[in-house]
Structure 1
């Protein structure tokens, strides 16, 4: 697709911040807009969409399963931005798993290098000496330890939202801007599912997906 202007211009603004408004476009409508993309671009969109589906799965996978999934994705994905999105989420999963395992007096997770190695070397530090880079670690750990699971999930979503928004400022009417719209739309979709009474159980599922055993603290 030589020009993305028409598609980008057709996408309604997302709420700023992500928790300040309703979902501006449904999944089905968004999917129909993405039909404007050519085959190569749709393949990349499918890759990031499939990853989002996987990322919604519970955190109680084994370290080996997570590591193998990351290896497979890195072999399949060529787009640099999609690789960045995937790696960021794997880093977040690794840190959340480390916080949980430390609480349970277990050893550090295998995780994905190089972050997993840094965690192992700094296992005795409360924040694994990572708070300078990942400022959400302290607030997340406090919220999770206090049983405030919705607040803990909000902290994770806020980090993701701010990261993708910051990167999106570098792109205008490009394929990258579409990918970053999808990444942020997914956050809004997951968060707003908590608002409707009919979606209450679905939101409880999302809490479990994001926080694993921490979801049982409330």
Structure 2
């Protein structure tokens, strides 16, 4: 039901917000960051640009923490996205890059990273991002921003389900039961069994 132009905005927002594993393998990588900046300029809504930027900035922060933990690079070779990149470089050896006051949520994530609890770290960050998207969604009623935030939130939910095997199985069972309970499917199955008899 979206116009072609709106559909392109949705697809661009999804591509930037929900990065594929392949595109993130080299994060933070200067050409990738420059591409993000070019693509972000094509997002027409300022509120969506800010929300997507927030997501990319958090990816940059987590990448910096991981890179430093693994000893993969030094501050002079670190390229990141957004307003905190300069502080990250200048305060590379500070546990939270000097951002603990500006970003108190970061102090909750670092211990999870240090303990190797990447699943819990992702869950906490996605909860934070979910609230950000929900705020924007509620600030705009019946607009493209509403639709895009809704789609992006459910992308976060999908990631959560994929990372939790028991939740994924439960979701599959529930969807299977609903699908099997629809009259068209029931009729089709009964017809197929009659042919086999």
Q: With structure 1 as the length reference, what TM-score do the two structures score?
A: 0.66
* Residue 101 of structure 2: aligned partner: 132
Provide, for residues 94-132 of structure 1, a one-character-per-residue CA deviation record: whole Å limited to 9, x for no partner.
Answer: 101110122123313211243211211222321112233
* Residue 118 of structure 1: aligned partner: 87
The DSSP-based 3-state class of the residue aligned with 1:97 is helix
The DSSP-based 3-state class of the residue aligned with 2:163 is coil
2:14 to 39, 49, 60: 49
After TM superposition, the structure 1 = structure 2 runs for residues 140-159 of structure 1, keeping only pairs within 5 Å, are 140-159=109-128
1:169 to 115, 138, 141: 138
Q: Distance in 1 between matches of 2:37 and 2:44?
A: 13
After TM superposition, the structure 1 = structure 2 runs for residues 50-69 of structure 1, keeping only pairs within 5 Å, are 50-57=15-22, 59-62=24-27, 63-69=29-35
1:87 aligns with 2:68: no
Q: What is the total number of aligned residue pairs between the two structures?
A: 165
* Residue 206 of structure 1: aligned partner: none
Larger Rg: 2
Provide, for residues 49-108 of structure 1, a one-character-per-residue CA deviation record: whole Å limited to 9, x for no partner.
Answer: 232453544633152233222232134333323322321121011101110122123313
Q: Is 2:17–2:55's contact at 8 Å kept on the other side of the alignment?
A: no
Q: Distance in 1 between matches of 2:91 and 2:114?
A: 20
Q: Is 1:164–1:180's contact at 8 Å kept on the other side of the alignment?
A: yes
Q: Is 2:30–2:79's contact at 8 Å kept on the other side of the alignment?
A: yes
Q: Distance in 1 between matches of 2:56 and 2:167?
A: 30
1:188 aligns with 2:146: no
Q: Unaligned stretches of 5+ in structure 1?
A: 1-35, 201-218
Q: Distance in 2 between matches of 1:185 and 1:111?
A: 26
Change over 3 Å in CA distance of 1:57–1:88 after alignment to 2: farther
1:76 aligns with 2:45: no
Q: Which has the higher contact order (CA 8 A, sep 6+)?
A: 1
* Residue 3 of structure 2: aligned partner: 38
Aligned residues: CA RMSD: 2.5
Q: Is 1:44–1:79's contact at 8 Å kept on the other side of the alignment?
A: no
Change over 3 Å in CA distance of 1:131–1:152 after alignment to 2: same
Q: Distance in 2 between matches of 1:74 and 1:169?
A: 22
